[in-house]
């Protein structure tokens, strides 16, 4: 019995000395901190180094830790096996936790309180070069009653944190509130507001205002928002996206005050205003875009689907179309028909009818009037058409302006979209006069040359017809042909 008591006394003494060593000495605290860091690292799948661990006033603790060799966190307060009631201070030039990464300075102060299985976390401080306040309850792998307010943070840094392309520049306010937030469940909303945002790929000097709200209903997201700037506005309504089915849709209303600003983006110089509205559907990386616009006085409806854009033109003003495209208008007309563009093969097809066509005073009409006396400005042509295709910078086609009595045909048109040059044969029949020739040069300053031989031949035949009569002229022509055949 004495031996048993002796060994019990030695064991208890060893345990007391161990507890004293761990609880009351700096070396013991350091040892405890080492093992605590190992435990937390394994539990969280992060590298956690406990640099300071003070248990001398237990249950009041002081713990200093470094997380993933980046930020440091300082904890002071009480903690037991089941509960925590501690203040914290997190700071660093960057921060990483599992897959989350912040590549800018972070400085947060707050409080943690509650059961280990039901922690209430509150705090405020600096992040993304702006201010943040937040509160949430951490339950297992979920966050409940989460509120986050980011004020004046850098939008590009937020986008990098969300693993998105940092296309935006400028400070943004984000208000988020979630009843439940986890990897698989999200119930809440986020409101986004930018007072002065920029799209550097478009312009570094023109700012815009963004105001939007996203509602999260688990894997269904709903959005309404608008963008306003000196260039125009974009309003998106009733937008939704189902993450599980990968389908989405929205209605939109786009207004542009001046197309000239979009030359770099659209790779062509456009002019004037533009407005359209329509609907967009998305399914498994495929977009279907349909809408219409009355910018061109008539109605233009469009449908984009499977890398193909179909346009239907109904009573559009040709003058307005050419003005938007920054091309000179040689005549005015109402345009009807269809246009198709194949994005994959980069081929454009045009099949249109022109009504109420009337020539405008141009260099060409002046030259024809001086040469032949034909005034091309008086007639109206209702039986006209333009058929063409475009590929590899070249548009080829045929333009026929006709009213059943008089006509102008541009045959074998070749337009170069890079140089805005034209090469085309033309044929004019007006007021019993015929004229043939060629148009070359640029669209803004074309050169018109007349086929003098055909003009002289036509004028001679016309004079002979008036002198001998049409029947005699035909007889002389036939005899001349026989005479020429005899001497071949």
Percent of the chain, pLDDT > 70? 83
Q: Do residues 331 and 443 share a domain? A: yes
Residue 397, in any domain of the structure: yes
Residue 356, in any domain of the structure: yes
User: Residue 423 pLDDT > 80, yes or no?
Assistant: yes
Question: Is there a contact between 210 and 222 (Cβ–Cβ < 8 Å)?
Answer: no
Last residue of a domain, one of 115, 146, 172: 115
Can you give the residue range of the structural domain that contains 307?
A: 294-450
**Both tokens assigned to 180:** 């439940």
Q: What is the pLDDT of residue 464?
A: 47
Q: What is the pLDDT of residue 430?
A: 76
Q: What is the pLDDT of residue 128?
A: 93
Describe the crossing of helices 452-468 and 470-486 by its angle, rounded to 10 degrees.
120
Nearest one of 113, 117, 119 to 78, comparing CA atoms = 113
Residue 48, in any domain of the structure: yes
Report d(CA 299, CA 200) in Å as an integer: 34
Q: Do residues 372 and 484 share a domain? A: no
Question: Is there a contact between 111 and 102 (Cβ–Cβ < 8 Å)?
Answer: no
pLDDT tens profile 73-126: 999 999 887 889 999 999 999 988 888 888 889 999 999 999 988 999 999 999
Q: What is the pLDDT of residue 323?
A: 78
Q: Do residues 440 and 466 share a domain? A: no
Q: Do residues 383 and 473 share a domain? A: no
Report d(CA 365, CA 377) in Å as an integer: 8
Q: What is the pLDDT of residue 211?
A: 94
User: Can you tell me the mean pLDDT for 337-344?
Assistant: 91
Q: State the pLDDT confidence band at 438, using cuts at 50, 70 and 90.
A: confident
Nearest one of 426, 430, 403 to 413, comparing CA atoms = 426
Q: Among the ranges 4-8, 35-39, 46-50, which has the highest mean pLDDT value?
A: 46-50
Q: Do residues 365 and 438 share a domain? A: yes
| Residue with token string 């209303």 | 253
Q: Do residues 299 and 437 share a domain? A: yes
Q: What is the pLDDT of residue 314?
A: 93
Residue 283, in any domain of the structure: no
DSSP 343: T
**What is the value of pTM for the model shown?**
0.75
Coil, helix or strand at residue 254: strand
User: Can you tell me the mean pLDDT for 421-427?
Assistant: 86
Determine how many CB atoms are found less than 10 A away from the CB of residue 67: 20
Last residue of a domain, one of 89, 115, 141: 115
User: Residue 311 pLDDT > 60, yes or no?
Assistant: yes
Q: Do residues 329 and 379 share a domain? A: yes
Residue 202, in any domain of the structure: no
- Long-range Cβ pairs for the range 116-124 (8 Å, 24+): 116/81, 116/82, 116/83, 116/84, 119/84, 123/88
- Count up the domains in the chain and report the number: 3
**Residues whose CB falls within 8 Å of the CB of residue 418, separated by 6 or more in sequence, listed in order:** 393
Report d(CA 341, CA 307) in Å as an integer: 9
User: Residue 132 pLDDT > 90, yes or no?
Assistant: yes
pLDDT tens profile 283-298: 877 889 999 998 888 8
Residue 103, in any domain of the structure: yes
Q: Do residues 305 and 358 share a domain? A: yes
Nearest one of 396, 374, 405, 399 to 384, comparing CA atoms = 399
Residue 316, in any domain of the structure: yes
β-pairing, 446-450 vs 95-97, is unpaired
Q: Do residues 371 and 483 share a domain? A: no
Report d(CA 272, CA 260) in Å as an integer: 7
Question: Is there a contact between 238 and 223 (Cβ–Cβ < 8 Å)?
Answer: no
| Residue with token string 């940092």 | 166
Q: Do residues 357 and 474 share a domain? A: no
Report d(CA 460, CA 43) in Å as an integer: 104
| Rounded-to-5 percentages of helix, strand, coil across the chain | 20, 55, 20
Q: Return the higher-pLDDT residue of 323 and 332.
A: 332
Residue 433, in any domain of the structure: yes
Coil, helix or strand at residue 476: helix
Q: What is the DSSP string of 376-436?
A: TTS--BSSEEEEEEEETTEEEEEEEEE-SS-EEEEEEEEEETTTTEEEEEEEEEETTEEEE
CB hemisphere CA count around 469 (13 angstroms): 3
How far is CA 381 from each of CA 85, 400, 450, rounded to the nearest angstrom? 88, 10, 23
Report d(CA 429, CA 401) in Å as an integer: 10
Q: Do residues 434 and 391 share a domain? A: yes
**Residues whose CB falls within 8 Å of the CB of residue 477, separated by 6 or more in sequence, listed in order:** none
**Both tokens assigned to 280:** 């967009």
Last residue of a domain, one of 115, 139, 166: 115
Q: Do residues 478 and 345 share a domain? A: no
């Amino acid at each position: 019995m004495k031996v048993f008591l002796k060994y019990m006394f030695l064991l208890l003494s060893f345990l007391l000395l161990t507890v004293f060593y761990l609880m009351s000495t700096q070396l013991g605290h350091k040892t405890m901190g080492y093992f605590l860091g190992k435990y937390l690292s394994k539990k969280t799948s992060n590298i956690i180094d406990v640099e300071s661990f003070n248990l001398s006033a237990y249950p009041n603790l002081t713990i200093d830790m470094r997380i993933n060799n980046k930020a440091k966190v300082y904890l002071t307060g009480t903690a037991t096996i089941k509960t925590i009631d501690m203040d914290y201070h997190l700071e660093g030039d960057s921060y990483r936790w599992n897959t989350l990464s912040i590549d800018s300075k972070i400085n947060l102060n707050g409080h943690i309180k509650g059961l280990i299985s039901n922690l209430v976390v509150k705090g405020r401080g600096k992040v993304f070069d702006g201010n943040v306040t937040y509160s949430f309850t951490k339950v297992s792998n979920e966050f409940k009653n989460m509120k986050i307010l980011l004020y004046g943070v850098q939008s590009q840094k937020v986008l990098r944190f969300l693993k998105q392309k940092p296309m935006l520049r400028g400070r943004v306010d984000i208000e988020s509130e979630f009843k439940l937030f986890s990897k698989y469940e999200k119930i809440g909303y986020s409101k986004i507001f930018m007072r002065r945002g920029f799209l550097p790929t478009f312009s570094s000097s023109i700012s815009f205002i963004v105001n939007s709200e996203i509602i999260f209903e688990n894997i269904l997201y709903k959005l309404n928002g608008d963008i306003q700037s000196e260039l125009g506005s974009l309003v998106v309504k009733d937008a939704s996206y189902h993450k599980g089915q990968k389908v989405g849709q929205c209605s939109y209303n786009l207004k542009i005050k001046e197309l000239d600003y979009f030359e770099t983006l659209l790779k062509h110089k456009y002019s004037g205003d533009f407005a359209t509205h329509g609907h967009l559907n998305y399914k498994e990386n495929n977009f279907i875009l349909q809408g219409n616009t009355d910018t061109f006085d008539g109605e233009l409806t469009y449908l984009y689907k499977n890398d193909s854009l179909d346009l239907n033109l109904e009573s559009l003003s040709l003058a307005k179309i050419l003005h938007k495209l920054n091309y000179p208008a040689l005549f005015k007309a109402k345009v009807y028909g269809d246009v198709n563009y194949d994005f994959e093969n980069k081929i454009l097809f045009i099949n249109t009818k022109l009504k109420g066509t009337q020539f405008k005073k141009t260099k060409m009409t002046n030259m024809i009037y001086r040469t032949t006396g034909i005034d091309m400005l008086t007639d109206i042509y209702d039986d006209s058409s333009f058929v063409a295709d475009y590929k590899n910078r070249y548009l080829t086609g045929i333009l026929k302006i006709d009213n059943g009595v008089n006509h102008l045909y541009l045959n074998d048109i070749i337009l170069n979209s890079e140089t805005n040059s034209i090469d085309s044969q033309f044929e004019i029949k007006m007021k019993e006069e015929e004229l043939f020739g060629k148009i070359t040069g640029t669209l803004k300053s074309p050169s018109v040359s007349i086929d003098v031989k055909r003009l002289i031949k036509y004028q001679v035949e016309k004079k002979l017809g008036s002198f001998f009569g049409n029947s005699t002229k035909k007889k002389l022509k036939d005899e001349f042909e026989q005479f020429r055949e005899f001497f071949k």
